[in-house]
Structure 1
Amino acid sequence: MSDTAAERAYRNCVRNLLAQFIHAVQQQPPFILDECDEESLHYLEQLESLPGTTGNEYAELGQAVVCRTIAAFPHLVPLLPRDLLWHFGGDCLHYMPDDEIDKFQQLDERLHQAIGEARPFDYERERAAIFGLH
C-alpha cells in the first residue's frame, strides 16, 4: 500500500475504531474483576498488542482476536465495530450477512478509486452514505 491521503485517512479511522474497542473492552467484565482468569487476560493482552503489530502478523492476529471476541465473549460483540470485521477479513467475514458484505465492498471500491485518483477520501462520510446513515 502506498501512502496517499485516502489511505492515511482509512488507516486513521481503523486505528481509532480499534482504540475505541480496546478501551471499551478494558471496562468490561471479566477484565475489570479482581480475579480475571488467565485465558481472558491472554485475550486482552493480544487485543491490546494489536495496534503495535504490522504486516501478516497484524492481519492474522486481528482475525484471531476478532473471532475470539465473538466466540468467547459474546457480551463484547455489541461493542465491536462492524468495520473491524471487514478490515480483518478472512474468517471474520463469516459473521457478516451478505448485504453487509456488499456494502463494505462498495465502500472498499470507492476507497480504492480515490487512491487510484490520488484524491481525498472521507471514510466516515462515504460509509454513512452507503449504509444510509444520513
Structure 2
Amino acid sequence: MTSYQIHHLNFLKIAYNNFINREPFKSEELVQDDLDFIEEFKELIEAFTESKPGVHDHGQDFIDKAFRRYPELAHLIARDLLWYFGGNNLHNMTDDEIAKFQRLDEMRFEAEDKGEEFDYINKRAGLFGQN
C-alpha cells in the first residue's frame, strides 16, 4: 500500500470513528438500516486495508450513500475521500476544492516521477492554507 493510500485509509478510519460516536449510531438500539450502514463501513475499511478488487468502486458508492443518507454527518468525512473515490462524490465538492485537489495530485505525480518522497499531509495543508 502506498503512503497516499495509507492516508486515505486513515481518513476512512477517522470518519468511521466519528460516525459511531454520533447519533443515530451511538444509540443502544439501532435500526437495521443504521446497523447495515455501519457494517458496510467496517467492510469498506477491511477491503481497503486488504486492497481487495473493486474497493474503489465500493468506496465511491459508499461515500455517496453516506452523503445522501446522513447529510447531517457528511462534515465528518474528509473531503479527501470525496476526491479519492471520485464519481458522484465530486458533486459534493466546490470548484475551488476540485482545483486544489487536482493541483495536489499534480504535485504528487511530479514528485513520484522524480523519485522523490511526497509528504501528502504537509503539502495538502499548505495548498489548503492550513499551516
Same fold, TM exceeding 0.5? yes
The root-mean-square deviation of aligned C-alpha atoms, in Å, is 1.4
Q: 1:109, 1:22 → 2: CA distance?
A: 29
Q: 1:50, 1:73 → 2: CA distance?
A: 17
Who is 1:76 aligned against?
73
Who is 1:108 aligned against?
105
Q: 1:59, 1:13 → 2: CA distance?
A: 15
Q: 1:60, 1:38 → 2: CA distance?
A: 24
Q: CA deviation at 1:56?
A: 4.8
Instruction: Select the structure with the greater relative contact order (CA < 8 A; seq sep ≥ 6).
Output: 1
Residue 10 of structure 1 aligns with an amino acid whose one-letter code is Y
1:16 equivalent in alignment to 2:13 = no
Who is 2:45 aligned against?
51
Stretches of structure 2 that go unaligned for 5 or more consecutive residues are none
1:38 equivalent in alignment to 2:19 = no
Q: CA deviation at 1:132?
A: 1.5
Q: CA deviation at 1:55?
A: 5.0
Who is 1:120 aligned against?
117
1:28 equivalent in alignment to 2:22 = yes
Number of equivalenced pairs: 128
Residue 54 of structure 2 aligns with an amino acid whose one-letter code is E
Secondary structure of 2:115 counterpart:
coil
Structure 1: which 4+ aligned runs deviate by more than 4 Å?
A: none
Q: 1:57, 1:38 → 2: CA distance?
A: 25
Secondary structure of 1:42 counterpart:
helix
Q: 1:12, 1:117 → 2: CA distance?
A: 21
Q: CA deviation at 1:9?
A: 2.0
TM-score if structure 2 supplies the norm length? 0.90
Q: 2:53, 2:17 → 1: CA distance?
A: 24
Q: CA deviation at 1:116?
A: 1.4
